[in-house]
Each structure stands twice: as structure tokens, then as C-alpha cells.
């Protein structure tokens, strides 16, 4: 019995550390009332912003193997592509009439992708144009966050 209690406690701690669970790491409180028209508009803006972010990212010169940033660059490339895909999916779902309960997992996935990308961005060089595109996507996510009871994302502070 003691092993089972420890296993449950360990699983709960790991889930909290990595942002899994029903509330997820993004949870700041109760979501505000769902406004389908407003959420549809925000998700369309988010989808557009993430497509732009993706396009701007792909216009950047890739990190070279000798730069020490190649692995981080490739991982950020993957996260950017996934973020674009998730944003398109949530926009389509909300436009089709799906609500909070049907889309919360996509929102949480996007927030985890953004958190991971924020760590990577601190490790590699990014242009001002890419930072601007990322800021627009972050702004749209921040507008969407209250509908999921999530904290807004602060801008990245660069050294």
C-alpha cells in the first residue's frame, strides 16, 4: 500500500512539473465565460499569427553545425511547425462550434509548445523580425488565455 501511495504521489508531482493534468500548468483560475464569437475571432488571429511566425522563422538563415546552435535551431523549427498546426486546429474547431471542453487540450498543448520554445529562443540568435512575429502570436494567446483560466505569457527578456 505504501508503494502505491508513493507511486501516486510521484506521478502527481511529475504531472505537475511537466504541466499535465486536467488543469495543466497554465491554469491560473476559473475560465471566464465562453464567448464563441470572441474566441473564434481570437483563434483566427492566433492561426494567422502562427502562420506568419512559421514563415518568418523559415526565412531566417539556419544555424550551422559549427555554431553550437544547430540542435536548438532544429528543435525550435519543429516547435514552430507544431504551434502553427495546433493553432489552425483550434481555430477550425472553434469555428465549427466546439467549446472550451473540446478545445482545452489543444490550448494546453500550445502553451507547452510555447514554454518549450521560449527556453530554446534564449539559447539561439533570433532576429527582430522573428521576435516581432513571436510577440504577435503571444498577444493572441494572451487574449485567449482567460477563456481557459490560464496566466498570460510575459515577453521574453533577452540578455
Is residue 10 in a domain?
Answer: no
Task: Report if pTM > 0.85.
Answer: no
- Full domain range(s) for residue 35: 26-148
The band of 9, judged by pLDDT with boundaries at 50, 70 and 90, is very low
What is the count of structural domains for the chain? 1
DSSP per residue, 133-159: HHHHHHHHHHHHGGGGTBPPPPPPPP-
Is residue 121 in a domain?
Answer: yes
Residue range 133-144, pLDDT digits in tens: 988 999 999 999
Is residue 63 in a domain?
Answer: yes
Q: Exposure of 80 by Cβ count < 10 A (0-12 exposed, 13-18 middle, 19+ buried)?
A: buried
pLDDT score for 23 = 36
CATH code for the domain in which residue 133 is found: 1.20.140
Amino acid at each position: 500500500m505504501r508503494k502505491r501511495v508513493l507511486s501516486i504521489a510521484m506521478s502527481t508531482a511529475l504531472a505537475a512539473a511537466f504541466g499535465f493534468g486536467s488543469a495543466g500548468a497554465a491554469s491560473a483560475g476559473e475560465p471566464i465565460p465562453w464567448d464563441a464569437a470572441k474566441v473564434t475571432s481570437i483563434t483566427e488571429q492566433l492561426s494567422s499569427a502562427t502562420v506568419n511566425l512559421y514563415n518568418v522563422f523559415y526565412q531566417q538563415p539556419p544555424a550551422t553545425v559549427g555554431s553550437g546552435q544547430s540542435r536548438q535551431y532544429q528543435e525550435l523549427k519543429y516547435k514552430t511547425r507544431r504551434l502553427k498546426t495546433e493553432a489552425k486546429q483550434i481555430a477550425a474547431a472553434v469555428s465549427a462550434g466546439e467549446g472550451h471542453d473540446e478545445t482545452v487540450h489543444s490550448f494546453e498543448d500550445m502553451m507547452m509548445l510555447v514554454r518549450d520554445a521560449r527556453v530554446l529562443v534564449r539559447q539561439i540568435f533570433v532576429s527582430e523580425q522573428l521576435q516581432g512575429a513571436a510577440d504577435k502570436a503571444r498577444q493572441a494567446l494572451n487574449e485567449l488565455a482567460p477563456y481557459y483560466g490560464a496566466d498570460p505569457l510575459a515577453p521574453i527578456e533577452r540578455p
